Every structure is written in structure tokens, then in C-alpha cells.
Amino acid sequence: MTENETTDGWVSSIPVAPEGFKSGFVGIIGRPNVGKSTLMNYLVGQKVAITSPVAQTTRNRLRGILTTPEAQIIFVDTPGIHKPHHQLGEVLVKNARGAIASVDIVLFLVDCSVELGGGDRFIVNLLTDIKSPVILGLNKADQQGYPSLDQDYIDLAESQGWTVAKFSALTGEGVEPLQATLIENLEPGPYYYPPDLVTDQPERFIMGELIREQILLHTREEVPHSVAIAIERVQEEPHITRVSAAINVERSSQKGILIGKGGTMLKTVGSAAREQIQKLIEGKVHLELFVKVQPKWRQSRTRLAEFGYRVEE
């Protein structure tokens, strides 16, 4: 075992990789809502990325870490690639494109329960000059009707020289063969992280994402992507952790929706988020939420930076 000190002074034990051990970074890309975050959560065996029926749920390039006796795979979950409509959208798409160029394997996810579309073909064009192996992942196999739409996807993969894997990130069917295919395509390498780590994101960031997930689930189209969470305080006491978080929105009307009549919506979101945070830290949590109006924050580079949305190098 070797001890490695991180930049913040934290010392962790990282094993020396045995002979034949493989490791590397896998970028999960695709259109919005094809199941990228669901797949990463399933693979690492724990919730590290939020999911919702709303498109563009993922905003940051999240890293999930899967360590097996044979390999360590670092999954990079990217925002859905789409045509941006504001400064935030441009940051998200630039980060997704950056991930494509900086990983060892690209896992291009599609929803095989629907026909191959223009959004998928747009991503195919982005992958034209990629030197890394590309695996075309046919997700949502559990939702597929009969006859299947697989052939168009298979023809696409054959024309590009890509490997195909079909599975359901929701049920887990076919995920083990996918994992084996990923490991097969990795090069020999070291442990990048301690074997028991499942994400490199700080706990505060995950807390904020769990709050945002509940807002997306409970408000749906009414307050779609105008929400940014700022964890203002985390105070650890012997028997409880007290968390205070600001929910930032763009308009007063959105603040009204989030608070709800008599504060009912905020209580509902807070209760559901508190349950998720308690699972994260494995302890009792007191969660205090309040709502702030920050006009046009998605168009402001300063505000985007404050809320943690930067173009990643």
C-alpha cells in the first residue's frame, strides 16, 4: 500500500495495482434523457448523479468510480448534448464536448426504444475524428416494443467501426456484459482513487444536487432549469448534521411556485431532499431551505461561476 497526500492535506491509502490491472476514464455521452446518470449510478452501486424526467438534469461533469478486482473505471457523466439556448447551455455543451476529447473510452448512449434521430446523428459527427474506442450503448431495452428498432443503430455502429452493447440501466439487464466490454477496451494502468471511493465530488456538491433533484421531480415544467442550489452552511453536531441551503431562481413567480401555498411545496421538497441526504451521510439531518431571486443568472458569467458552472479545462 502507498500513502498519497491530496492538495487539501487529506491522506488516503491507494494500493499498488497488481500485474494486468486496468484503469481509465469512460465518458458517457448522448442526447438529454437517454439514461446517462441512471447508468452511472447503477454501475457504481450508489447514487452519485441525480435523475429526473426533465431534460438537461446533469449540469456538471460528474465522476463515478467503479473498482473491481481487475480494473478501476472512472465514469464521466456529461450533460446531454443539445443546441444551447443560453450561457448556461453553452457551458454545459462545451463541457460535454471537452469530455469526449479527454477520456480513454467513449460510451455513446442512445434510447433504443425510439428511432435513431437527428440529435443522435449530430453526436455521431462530433465523434468522427475521435481516436479513443467508441461503444454504442443501446439503453432502455426494457421499454422496447416489437419489432425492435435495433437495426438502424447496429448499421450505424458498423459504419463507424464501433462495438454495440444493449442493456437497461433501470433494471440492470445486460449491464454486466457492458462492464466487461468496457474493461476489455481499457489499457493497463494504476489505481487513480482509493478502491472504496465512488465519486470524487465533495459531499456539499452532492447535497446540492439531491435538493435540485427533488425540485425537478416536484415542480416539473413549472421551474425547469432556472434553479441553482448554494449550500450555505453545514454544521456537524454529535447526533445531527444541520444543513442550510439557498435555492436560487430567476423570477419572483418561480419563487412563489417553489414556496407553494402556506409553504407546502418547500416543505415537500425539503422533506424528500432530507431523506436523500441522510442516506448520503448515513446520519440524521436537519435541512433548512430558503429561496432567493437572482434575475437572469443563467445569462451571467459571474453568477454561473458563483454557482459552480464553469467551462472545464
> What is the pTM for the complete model shown?
0.65
Q: Which domains, and CATH codes, for the chain?
A: 2-185 (3.40.50.300), 203-306 (3.30.300.20)
Q: What stretch of H or E contains 94?
A: helix 87-102
**Distance between CA 67 and CA 42 in Å, rounded?**
13
> Rounded to the nearest 5°, which phi and psi values hold at 281?
-95, -5
Give the pLDDT confidence score for residue 49 in this predicted structure. Answer: 67
pLDDT of residue 226: 74
Type of residue numbered 25: F
Q: In the structure grid, which three cell numbers stand for residue 92, read together? A: 454545459
What pLDDT score does 201 carry? 72
Contact 24, 189 (CB under 8 A): yes
Q: What is the mean pLDDT of each run of 10 residues along the chain (313 residues)?
A: 44 79 92 87 77 48 84 83 60 67 90 91 85 94 83 94 95 96 95 85 80 83 71 88 89 88 92 87 88 79 64 50
pLDDT at 89 (0 to 100)? 60
List, in sequence order, every beta strand (DSSP E) within the chain: 2-5, 11-14, 22-30, 62-67, 71-77, 105-111, 134-139, 163-166, 228-236, 241-249, 285-293
CA atoms of 45 and 198, how far apart (whole Å):
8
- Can you give the pLDDT at residue 59? 44
Question: Is the bond into 195 cis (omega within 30 degrees of 0)?
Answer: no
For residue 234, give the C-alpha cell.
453545514
pLDDT at residue 11 in the model: 43
Question: How far apart are the C-alpha atoms of 290 and 255, rounded to whole Å?
Answer: 10
**What pLDDT is stored for residue 2 in this prediction?**
43
Predicted confidence (pLDDT) per residue in 77-95, tens digit:
776 665 655 566 666 666 6
**End-to-end Cα distance, the chain:** 31
What are the DSSP E strand ranges found in 112-266? 134-139, 163-166, 228-236, 241-249
Q: Which residue has the cell 487513480?
A: 192
Residue 11, amino acid: V
- C-beta of residue 47 within 8 angstroms of C-beta of residue 61: no
pLDDT of residue 182: 96
